[in-house]
């Protein structure tokens, strides 16, 4: 009798065991779990790697630094970094800061930094500076993207030549059938723009400009690790699509991040969004 109750008690306890929480799980594009070490080995053979982040997700920012450190340990001086979070006309400030020509205080005061810079991007900038790695400001100055959003791409034709050096050469290719831009075109902008096409056009000029500065700073044998929001590189569209216009033979790999209720398996809707998918619990705290 005691044995019977012992078995019942044991079964009851087993049924109430709570699985250890997981901060993230890593999957390949087919939804199969993949080891971090295997991903890292594959990244080393790429020309350009995109790390698509959710801007306020702490797991993204932690892993961005870990991937950077681990790739540097393998690639050394062949590694260079770049990011959506820095606008092309701030490249001079980055260079001056890295060379020790200006103080960190002046760099941070004069560069148009995102509000979460100190917690989320400063570690990457500091790592690059400390290890003499190039850091490329790839994004279009926001004043130009804002102008496109309000007035369309044609507005940029009026820029003087010395301003056009900060954007992709005009005219850029416009493909409204590409998934990411088609989705934006179909969104309701609620009167924010006078022409529905201006919304995807603002995204196009960002993606085209980032592709332009990525390719312009990359050389054969380099590994360029670029940080951007997931929308810019998911499904190898956005920046990746524009990069292919420069060189269709580039070896490009994409890491993306998704949030799910549970990360025990990857939801099918996220398959193929990237070569590697980081699944993070929706309950994860935010950096802002």
pLDDT at 194 over 70: yes
**Mean pLDDT across the stretch 218-238?**
98
Dist. CA 248–CA 253, nearest whole Å: 13
138 close to 86: Cβ distance less than 8 angstroms: yes
Q: Is the pLDDT of residue 3 over 90?
A: no
Model confidence at 190: pLDDT above 70: no
Amino acid 77: pLDDT: 81
pLDDT at 159: 98
204 pLDDT band, cuts 50/70/90, is very high
Residue % of the chain over a pLDDT of 70: 92
Q: Is residue 29 over pLDDT 90?
A: yes
pLDDT digits (tens, 9 = 90+) for 117-172: 999 999 999 999 999 999 999 999 999 999 999 999 999 999 999 999 999 999 99
pLDDT at 12: 46
Are 97 and 129 in contact by the 8 Å Cβ rule? The answer is: yes
- What confidence category does residue 6 fall into, taking pLDDT thresholds of 50, 70 and 90? low
Q: Is the pLDDT of residue 19 over 90?
A: no
User: Quick one: pLDDT at residue 26?
Assistant: 98
Q: Is the pLDDT of residue 39 over 70?
A: yes
Secondary structure, 3-state, the chain: CHHHHHHHHHHHHHHCCCCCCCCCEEEECCCCECCHHHHHHHHCCCCEEEEEECCCCHHHHHHHHHHHHHHHHHHHHHEEEEEEEEEHHHHHHHHHHHCCCCCHHHHHHHCCCCCCHHHHHHHHHHHHHHCCCCEEEEECCHHHHHHHHHHCHHHHHHCCHHHHCCCCCCCCCCCCCCHHHHHHHHCCCCCCCCCCCHHHHHHHHHHHHHHHHHHHHCCCCCEEEEEEEHHHCHHHCCHHHHHHHHCCCCCEEEEEEEEECCCCCCCHHHCCCCCEEEEEECCCCCCC
pLDDT above 90: residue 255: yes
Whole-model pTM: value is 0.92
Average pLDDT, the chain: 93
Length of the chain: 288
The pLDDT of residue 76 = 77
Task: Give residue 2's pLDDT band: very low, low, confident or very high (50, 70, 90).
Answer: low
| Residue 191 CB-half CA count within 13 A | 0
Does the pLDDT of residue 13 top 50, yes or no?
A: no
Q: Where are the domains of the chain?
A: 139-218
**pLDDT over 70 at 79, yes or no:** yes
Mean pLDDT computed over 274-285: 97
Q: How far apart are CA 137 and CA 2, in angstroms?
A: 71
Calculate mean pLDDT across residues 105-115: 97
């Amino acid at each position: 009798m005691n044995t019977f109750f012992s078995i019942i008690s044991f079964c009851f306890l087993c049924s109430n065991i709570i699985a250890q929480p997981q901060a993230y799980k890593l999957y390949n594009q087919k939804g199969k779990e993949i080891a971090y070490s295997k991903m890292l080995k594959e990244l080393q053979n790429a020309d350009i790697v995109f790390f698509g982040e959710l801007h306020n997700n702490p797991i993204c920012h932690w892993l961005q630094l870990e991937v950077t450190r681990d790739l540097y340990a393998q690639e050394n001086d062949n590694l260079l970094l770049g990011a959506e979070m820095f606008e092309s006309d701030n490249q001079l400030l980055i260079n001056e800061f890295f060379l020790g020509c200006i103080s960190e205080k002046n760099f941070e005061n004069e560069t148009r930094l995102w509000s979460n810079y100190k917690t989320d991007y400063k570690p990457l900038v500091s790592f690059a500076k400390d290890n003499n790695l190039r850091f490329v400001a790839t994004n279009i100055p926001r004043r130009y993207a804002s102008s496109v959003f309000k007035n369309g791409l044609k507005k940029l034709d009026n820029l003087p030549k010395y301003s056009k050096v900060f954007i992709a050469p005009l005219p850029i290719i416009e493909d409204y059938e590409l998934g990411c831009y088609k989705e934006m075109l179909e969104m309701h902008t609620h009167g924010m723009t006078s022409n529905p096409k201006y919304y995807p056009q603002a995204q196009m000029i960002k993606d085209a400009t980032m592709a332009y500065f990525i390719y312009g700073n990359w050389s054969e044998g380099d590994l360029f690790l670029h940080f951007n929001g997931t929308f810019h590189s998911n499904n190898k569209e956005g920046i990746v699509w524009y990069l292919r216009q420069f060189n269709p033979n580039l070896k490009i790999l994409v890491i993306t991040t998704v949030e799910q209720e549970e990360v025990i398996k990857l939801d099918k809707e996220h398959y193929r969004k990237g070569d590697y998918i980081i699944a993070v619990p929706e309950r994860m705290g935010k950096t802002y």
